Amino acid sequence: MSVPVPPRLFRPSLNLLSVAICMAGSLSAIADEASTTPAQTPPETLELGATQISNTQLGSTTEGSSSYTTGIMSTATKLPMTMRETPQAVTVMTRQRMDDQAMTSINDVVKYTPGLFLSQSSGPGRQTYSSRGFDIDNLMYDGIPSTYQGWTVGAQPNLAMFDRVELVRGATGLVTGAGNPSAAINLVRKRPLAEQKVTLTGAAGSWDDYRGEVDASSPLNASGTLRGRVVTSWQDANSFVDRAEETHGLFYAITEADLSDDTTLSLGFSHQKDRTNYFWGSSMVGLDGHHLDLPRSYNLGTDWEDKDQDINTLFAEIRQRLAYDWKLQVNASYTQQDALFSGSYQSRWAPTRAWRAPFTSPLTTKTRPVSMRSPAARSRPLAAAMNWWSAPASASTT
């Protein structure tokens, strides 16, 4: 009879004790090796060079930007807004575009602006501007409206003294007050630069058309808190039209003074002299409307016809920066224009009769606009403005 063998009870093996003894010996050997190894030196500190961060975003000033657009404009709403944010049809003629296309007067700006029309039906010396079927009856200088009547006054602001021209098409009563719902043309003057810069420009064209321009700007003290700028230009040109000639002269000077860290005062003066002896906008036609086959160079005017005008402008501006990015700006300007028109025009008051009517018109215009506004930061969209101007004029016709 077989007896069953009971199962063996679990007993720890001697192998575990051997493994523990081996591990202890290994740790002791590793510790001895670490104590004999030389200590490693910490890595050297890496010093980085200076990092310069520059902002390339466009601002309101276009001179030196090499751009055909501007970052912000305020002609439409008095608030500094981008063209995309402005809720009207707008165009900005920058300094770069005016230089590239050789624009010299406001006539060139109107000619190249979509939606504006240049009319010279009264002759090159008495141009008119229109938009959306209405005459443009005022021009703006640094945001200050000034009355304009082309067929009598006919001033052509010289673009040499302007940084840019901002144009808003449509009703602009918010910034110009009463007037035609045509367009607003705002000519923004050049300002003194922080660095010294002198620019000489010359041009020559057909029919003895010559033009020269000098533009100089510089700080006037060591700290740069007083700055000045002078711009002069002269143009003398003939035409394909017989005996037609014109001259345009300009002197412009402006100074800026930083009265404090938050206050800037600007004073400026401009003198513009224009002269032309051609007023006819087109050639004569017969009483029945047929062409008279006159040559393209035929001059309908007489030798004594002439238009000579002088425009003197004195302006001032003070800008005060307030808390929370608020700004207070006060502008004042005085303009006097003296002009003498001597010309003639073809008149027909009966179907079978036509005659030449001579006229002489001395004109004196004085404009005294004052503007005060406080455009807020863009996070607080609020603007308040007050404009006042008067433009008494005297004219006579003989």
Q: What is the pLDDT of residues 137-177, one digit of tens each?
A: 888 898 888 878 777 666 788 999 999 999 999 888 777 77
State the residue range of the domain holding 156.
89-285+298-395
The pLDDT assigned to 388 comes to: 54
159 within a domain of the structure (yes/no): yes
Higher-confidence residue of 183 and 343: namely 183
332 within a domain of the structure (yes/no): yes
- Give me the mean pLDDT over the 258-278 stretch: 92
Q: What percent of the chain has pLDDT over 90?
A: 31
Higher-confidence residue of 200 and 25: namely 200
55 within a domain of the structure (yes/no): no
The pLDDT assigned to 73 comes to: 87
| pLDDT > 70? residue 359 | no
Residues 187-238 have pLDDT tens digits of: 999 999 999 999 999 999 899 999 999 999 999 999 989 999 999 999 999 9
The pLDDT assigned to 46 comes to: 79
Quick one: which H or E segment has residue 355? strand 353-367
CATH number for the domain that contains residue 143: 2.40.170.20
Instruction: Look up residue 56 and give its DSSP letter.
Output: -
**Could you give the number of structural domains in the chain?**
1
Closest C-alpha among 393, 383, 375, 385 to residue 177: 385
377 within a domain of the structure (yes/no): yes
| pLDDT > 50? residue 10 | no
245 within a domain of the structure (yes/no): yes
69 within a domain of the structure (yes/no): no
Backbone angles phi, psi at 393, to 5 degrees: -140, 150
pTM greater than 0.75 (yes/no): yes
Higher-confidence residue of 20 and 269: namely 269
Query: Which stretch, 44-48, 256-260, 343-347, has highest mean pLDDT?
Result: 256-260
DSSP one-letter string for 160-208 = GGEEEEEEEES--HHHH-SS-SSEEEEEEEP---SS-EEEEEEEEETTT
pLDDT bucket at 376, cuts 50 / 70 / 90: very low
Query: Which stretch, 42-51, 74-83, 191-200, 287-296, has highest mean pLDDT?
Result: 191-200
pLDDT bucket at 6, cuts 50 / 70 / 90: low
**CB neighbours (10 Å) of residue 365?**
22
44 within a domain of the structure (yes/no): no
11 within a domain of the structure (yes/no): no
The pLDDT assigned to 99 comes to: 92
